[in-house]
Amino acid sequence: MVLDKLCAAGRPVGAYDMIDIVAQATGKRPAPVSIYRALDFLLENGLVHRLASRNAYMACAHHHERAATVAFLICDSCGCVTEASSTDVATSLGALAAASGFRPQAQVIELTGLCRACAAEPGRAAAP
């Protein structure tokens, strides 16, 4: 159910927003702990990603490896989030971590800025 709702949202959803969404769908307010448990389970199984900067969760439809490097392109204007991955980035990050003797658990990159649609809005280029 939580995964369904995350997929349907198509954008990052915070745990407390998820409680509201589930409450609306079922007419029963779930306990926060059960929502967190569901989200943890989905995270562990690589079905969702956690966006640290937004403290929100997003469904992953890409069926990539759990340890794969993913980049999130987060639009500051409309809030849309695009998931992207690149083996070049993964390789460079891996080398960077290895050079420090660091063993990463998850490699998640978050880029904030403007999405294509927002960047193309008239007047946007003149904005500070």
In the complex, which residues of this chain contact Zn ion (CB under 5 A)? 60, 62, 70, 75, 77-78, 115, 118
Whole-number minimum distance, CB 61 to Zn ion, in Å? Answer: 7
Question: How many CA within 13 A on the CB side of residue 127?
Answer: 10
Q: How far from 24 is each of 7, 55, 115, CA to CA, in Å? A: 16, 21, 30
Q: Which is nearer to Zn ion, 18 or 75 (CB)?
A: 75
Q: Which helix (H) or strand (E) holds 73?
A: strand 70-75
CB of 80 to Zn ion, least distance (A): 5
**Whole-angstrom distance between the N-terminal and C-terminal Cα of the chain?**
42
| DSSP state at residue 1 | -
Smallest gap, in angstroms, from Cβ of residue 108 to Zn ion? 9
CB of 37 or CB of 62, closer to Zn ion: 62
**Nearer to Zn ion (CB atom), residue 89 or residue 118:** 118
